Structure 1
Amino acid sequence: MGVAIWDGARLCSGLRMNKIDLQHDALTRYLATLLAAYFELLPVGRILQYPFIMQIDDAIYQPDIQIVLRTNPAELSDTALRGAADICIEVVAPESTKRDHGDLFAAYEQAGVAEYWIVDGLRHESRFYRLGDNGRYVRVSEEADGHYRTPRLAQFRLNVSTLWEAPLPGPLAIGAMVRAMVQRESN
């Protein structure tokens, strides 16, 4: 039986528990629903959500969202991805800014995660990075129309300004958005 410890911010039972706020929860849910709808229409991969493990050698990470394409050679078991995800997404929480922009940035880069997205609802800022030929992340901006497109997800367009809407679109609106996105890109 574990011992509960109050550290002034969270109740733990022998495990490190991350704090999140309502905005973090909403952004993570929005992105997960958006990507799940995309993969339902175009089944080229899947999403894994926190606390699902990504294990690189002896290091264990738990990104908010991992995107694993069918072409990814990493071993996926019921409990962990052993190898690098294709895309890792971290939604910045009040206590995770330094970790998301620093420690995890360096770790994911070194591990060979092809893309790293940082979504910061506190600052209404998103950053998208892709591994360059030299194995280092290069920052990539959204296009002039305000959408971020990744070469890893054909037909996927993330309308970045939508991330800052209050409230964020719900599941029905997201489904319609993704259907329109895929149809538009198919024409």
Structure 2
Amino acid sequence: MSRLKETAAVYETRPLPEGKITFEEFLAWCDEDTWAEWVDGEVVVLTPAARKHQRIYKFLLFLLEAYVSKHSLGEVLSAPFLVRLPEMLRRGREPDILYVSNEKLPFLKETYMDGPPDLIVEITSPESLARDRGEKYVEYEAAGVKEYWLIDPDRRQAEFYRLAEEGHYRTIHPNEEGIYRSEVIPGFWLQVNWLWQDPLPSVIDCLKELGLI
């Protein structure tokens, strides 16, 4: 069964809540297979991802997981897994990928992260682009997410934002070799052109370049 059909089947048997609900009620309603977010008390169902999105998502997830695990830096998680942003924002977002440093591991609950992770990666689709670049950019900045990567497979464009001391995001560009170096994941770097190769490069080959194997 396709993810689209699976998603449709879930909401046929488990209808969306009516009206506004609390975050705790939202957690009780959704389960580990539910792709939805909590926005100002309302449930927002997410659109299933396209194949191109899925490929880049898996590539980055495997790469980040391997690096973080090798260096015992924390934990890498992926959707569906909620991030509860600070109370003032009234948001429960579901990033594609999030990295939680060892320092912030105590904020990880069984089904959600209670507060901002160190890094969030969103891989855009035509449906999510405005939300990822607009609403979520503002929310992640206000919440104190230290790094935000916005990956657009359709435009072959990667944007990297880093939280400055004054609490606002600053755009960080890859160097002249096209390499982006993370600040929150010590020693990790990404050759941005890897993301646009078809087929994508072998994760094993990339891990060799990172010096992991």
TM-score by shorter chain over 0.5: yes
> How much has 1:73 moved relative to structure 2?
6.4
Deviations 1:110-130 (A, max 9, x none): 111001000000000000000
Matches of 1:177 and 1:17, distance apart in 2 = 31
Larger helix proportion of the pair: 2
Aligned mate of 1:111, from 139, 143, 147: 143
Equivalent residues in 2 for 1:92-171 (5 A)?
92-169=124-201
| Structure 2 residue matching 1:135: 3-state secondary structure | coil
Change in 2 beyond 3 A, CA 1:138/1:72: same
Cα pair distance change 1:129/1:74, threshold 3 Å? farther
Q: Which residue of 1 aligns with 2:102?
A: 70
Alignment check: 8 A CA contact 2:83 2:94 kept: yes
Return the alpha-carbon distance in structure 2 between the equivalents of residues 143 and 27 of structure 1.
Answer: 21
The alpha-carbon deviation at position 132 of structure 1 amounts to 0.9
Q: Report the RMSD for the aligned CA atoms in angstroms.
A: 1.8
- In structure 1, the gaps of 5 or more residues are 1-9
Please say if residues 156 and 182 of structure 1, whose CA atoms lie closer than 8 Å, have aligned partners that are also in contact: no
Change (3 A) 1:183 1:21: closer
What is the TM-score when the length of structure 2 is the normalising length?
0.76
Query: What CA deviation, in whole Å up to 9, does each residue of 1:46-95 have, x standing for no partner?
Result: 11101101002242010000111102266111111101010000000121
Matched, 1:35 2:64: yes
With over 3 angstroms needed to count, the CA separation of the structure-2 counterparts of 1:104 and 1:181, relative to structure 1, is same
Q: Give 1:18's aligned residue.
A: 47
1:165 positional shift: 0.5
Report how many residues are paired: 172
Amino acid at match of 1:137: Y
1:151 offset after TM fit, Å? 1.6
Alignment counterpart, residue 82 of structure 1, candidates 100, 109, 114: 114
Percent identity between the two aligned chains: 31
Counterpart residue identity of residue 164, structure 1: W
Q: C-alpha deviations, 1:5-55, integer Å up to 9, x for none?
A: xxxxx7360351323110011111110011011122111011110110100
- Given that 2:70 and 2:212 are in contact with CA atoms closer than 8 Å, whether structure 1 keeps it comes out as no
TM-score by length of 1: 0.86
